[in-house]
Amino acid sequence: MSRFWSDVTRRLTPYVPGEQPRHERLIKLNTNESPYPPSPAVVAAVQQIESDALRRYPDPESARLRQAFADYHGLHPDQVFLGNGSDEVLAHVFQGLLQQQRPLLFPDITYSFYPVWCELYGIRYERVPLGADFSIDTSAFARPNGGIIVPNPNAPTGLLLSLAQIRALVAANPDSVVVIDEAYIDFGGESAITLINDFDNLLVVQTLSKSRALAGLRVGVAFGQAALIDGLQRVKNSFNSYPLDAVAQAAVLASLADEDWFRECCDRVIASRERLTRGLEALGFSVLPSAANFILASPGNDRDTGALFLALREQGIIVRYFDKPRIAGYLRITVGTDAQCDALLDALPALL
């Protein structure tokens, strides 16, 4: 605390990301990174960056990249917005679109950055309770609101809403923006990007950090009709004209061009997820059905899950533990390679 802090700064409770350990021997299953490298074409593109591209400012509009995303999804470039990680994209969305008279709605168990942005921007919000099985009942969002944000699949539960459910949610709230945070959609869900041209109140946010193995590059993207995207551009151009550096723009272009690599890595993660789920169930865990690259798993009510988290840490395996209502009995485990998942499954019996 300093006497120079503004009132806003004093009041903040910042988001705490998962640990990024300095030493490398750990099996890292805590922040939902890909266990596989990005496409070799991405690494080649980064290595081929010319000195001039570093000397100059990058294209502030990332025009080639917006065009590439538009082509990839059958949209127009003015329906694509890019930012320095989807966390930055979401921050602009909260300020530019979700700061309204009526409260913002999101599930009571969800991405814990949402209330942090609400605090930062002074946005009123209400948490909509999930069902006892953590399912999202979209009809529970039928109350006055100034916006809705839902991750699909939800985090940290991994539960997926169908495209029909998303469509119904967007259609039922024509006067507020409905944001679908699709950070994990590539691991088994159906993207709502296909609904963009049907609804002027739908915004879909994705990240290159998980399924495209580019968390270190910091690129996020939003898709919506041009008027929504234009609002985000106004915020972005009042904050940082150059959110994507030259390296990131070149690397992501290469990533989008290597569809085979992308699909192959997603398929492998999906197969490992099913294998890990069965392995944990065989050890007595209950595991929520996940459509993401992580699972939420409980060793059982009578066990101290916080202690299990620490014991795994001692063994060099880090997962995520949220000491919060309803999910304190669960571990969130990122799906690693089969070898990493086996190391976890092998370590558990002695700790249970």
Ligand X SMILES: *Cc1c(COP(=O)(O)O)cnc(C)c1O
Interface with ligand X (CB under 6 A) = 85-87, 111, 151, 155, 181, 183, 207, 209, 215, 220
How many Å apart are CA 201 and CA 172, to the nearest integer?
A: 11
CB of 156 to ligand X, least distance (A): 8
DSSP string, 67-88: HHHHHHHT--GGGEEEESSHHH
CB of 82 to ligand X, least distance (A): 11
173 vs 209 by CB, closer to ligand X: 209
216 vs 284 by CB, closer to ligand X: 216
How many Å apart are CA 332 and CA 308, to the nearest integer?
A: 12
How many Å apart are CA 106 and CA 323, to the nearest integer?
A: 20
* DSSP H helical ranges for 242-301: 246-257, 259-282
Q: 151 preceded by cis ω (within 30°)?
A: no
87 vs 245 by CB, closer to ligand X: 87
CB of 220 to ligand X, least distance (A): 4
CB of 19 to ligand X, least distance (A): 15
66 vs 348 by CB, closer to ligand X: 66
CB of 300 to ligand X, least distance (A): 26
157 vs 279 by CB, closer to ligand X: 157
CB of 315 to ligand X, least distance (A): 25
Task: Give all strands of the β-sheet with 147-151 in edge-to-edge order.
Answer: 80-83, 220-224, 202-207, 178-181, 147-151, 104-107, 125-128
**Strand 220-224 relative to strand 80-83: parallel, antiparallel, unpaired?**
antiparallel
155 vs 344 by CB, closer to ligand X: 155
CB of 205 to ligand X, least distance (A): 7
196 vs 219 by CB, closer to ligand X: 219
What angle, 0 to 180 degrees and rounded to 10, lies between the N-to-C axes of helices 338-351 and 259-282?
20
Q: 194 exposed, middle or buried (CB, 10 Å; 0-12, 13-18, 19+)?
A: middle
Torsion of CA 297, 299, 302, 303, to 10 degrees: -110
Residue 286 in tokens: 């209950």
CB of 214 to ligand X, least distance (A): 9
H/E run at residue 334: strand 331-334
Residue 18 in tokens: 């998962």
CB of 88 to ligand X, least distance (A): 7
How many residues in the chain? 352
189 vs 220 by CB, closer to ligand X: 220
* DSSP H helical ranges for 63-150: 63-73, 86-96, 114-121
Cβ atoms of 96 and 138 within 8 Å: the answer is no
113 vs 199 by CB, closer to ligand X: 113
